[in-house]
Amino acid sequence: MTGMPAQERGARLALFLDFDGTLAPIAPRPDLVRLEARELALLESLGRLLPVFVISGRAFPDILLRLPVSTLSGLSGDHGAVRRFRDEIAIHPEALRARESLARWGPVLREVTDRVPGAVTEAKEFSLSIHYRGVEPERVPRLFSEVEGLFGVWDDRDRFRISHGKMVWEVRPAGGVTKEETMDFFLELLARESGGVPGEYRPVMVGDDTTDLGAVNRALVLGGRGYWVGDPPPGLAAGAARLGNPAEVWSLLARLRDALAQGKDPLRELA
């Protein structure tokens, strides 16, 4: 892991984590991913020491099922479309407007991927994911051409975006439904809850894929820490630290837990 300059003592931290590729290794199919009991226990203990949020691209019911952690301050699915803070759930207005179109086009995309061995369409309430990890490399360009062709004839095409991730294409609402905006949403609620002012909490964001990039960079802008798992992508801020894989993420989280439990300055410990 590359280091980052230590920051002053006394900062209140809020931890933001992606799930697939960050907390859990990427699996051949999304349904195969599970966290181990000791990892869930570490998240549980961290949640008693500072606000912990998981912002995932998975459908909200899916990520909720995979994270039976009672101490999380917040959880978000579909890249920020659905957000739970404490016991309150909010859905982004752009996601609500997109739901009908996504429900209509999900089966159409599935017809395309069903014809390509190894391709999978994951139809969620507020986004669509086309996984091609199992597709023969020479067939990927043609598959993407077909997906783009379908996308081009949507009557409300301008309300959606396609982003390229690690062996996945994500179709999601174009306006406001991002992980960085979701981070800001949670930080504002934390500040209100504590009677403080915006900026009271410094975010620590850990992510590994395209949809995490804005949030990692945003954490640095807000005076916090940004960690990138894997090879750095274009556009990653120079101040971001790098972690090699999810195992290194868990090592970082264990160090953070220990520093907080021992009353040490967590930012200094993580420098």
12-92+176-269 is classed in which CATH architecture? 3-Layer(aba) Sandwich (3.40)
Average pLDDT of span 9-17: 80
- Output b/e per residue, 105-133; b: 16+ Cβ within 10 A: bbeebbebbeebeebbbbbbbbbbbbbbe
| CA–CA dist 249, 120 (Å, integer) | 28
pLDDT of residue 76: 97
Per-residue pLDDT tens digits for 123-152: 899 989 999 988 999 999 999 999 888 887
Say what the pLDDT of residue 271 is: 66
213 CA to centre of own chain: 9
For residue 135, count CB atoms less than 10 angstroms from its CB and return exposed for 0-12, middle for 13-18, buried for 19 or more.
buried
Per the model's pLDDT, the better-predicted residue between 174 and 107 turns out to be 107
Q: Does residue 235 have a pLDDT over 90?
A: yes
* Boundaries of every domain in the chain: 12-92+176-269, 93-173
Alpha helices in the chain (DSSP H): 37-47, 60-66, 93-114, 140-152, 179-194, 210-221, 246-261, 266-269
Categorize the per-residue pLDDT at 10 as very low, low, confident or very high, splitting at 50, 70 and 90.
Answer: very low
What is the number of H-type helices and E-type strands within the chain? 8, 12
Mode of pairing for the β-strands spanning 128-131 and 160-165: unpaired
Q: pLDDT over 70 for what percent of the chain?
A: 95
Residue 171 corresponds to which tokens in the numbers above?
Answer: 């179709």
CA 227 vs CA 224, 232, 249: distances in Å:
10, 10, 9
Poorest-confidence range of 5-9, 102-106, 193-197, 200-204?
Answer: 5-9
Q: Are the beta carbons of 208 and 9 closer than 8 angstroms? A: no
- What's the pTM value of the predicted model, to 2 decimals? 0.89
Can you tell me the mean pLDDT for 86-99? 92
Give the CATH fold of the 93-173 domain.
Alpha-Beta Plaits (3.30.70)
Residue 43 has pLDDT above 90, yes or no: yes
How far, in Å, CA of 165 to CA of 112, rounded? 19
Residue 3 has pLDDT above 50, yes or no: no
Identity of the residue numbered 74 = G
Alpha-carbon radius of gyration of the chain: 19
Q: Taking residues 67-94, what's their average pLDDT?
A: 95
pLDDT value for 7: 36
- pLDDT, residue 11, reads 60
Q: In which band, very low, low, confident or very high, does the pLDDT at 92 lie, cut at 50, 70 and 90?
A: very high
Q: How far apart are the first and last CA of the chain?
A: 10
d(CA 193, CA 170): 33
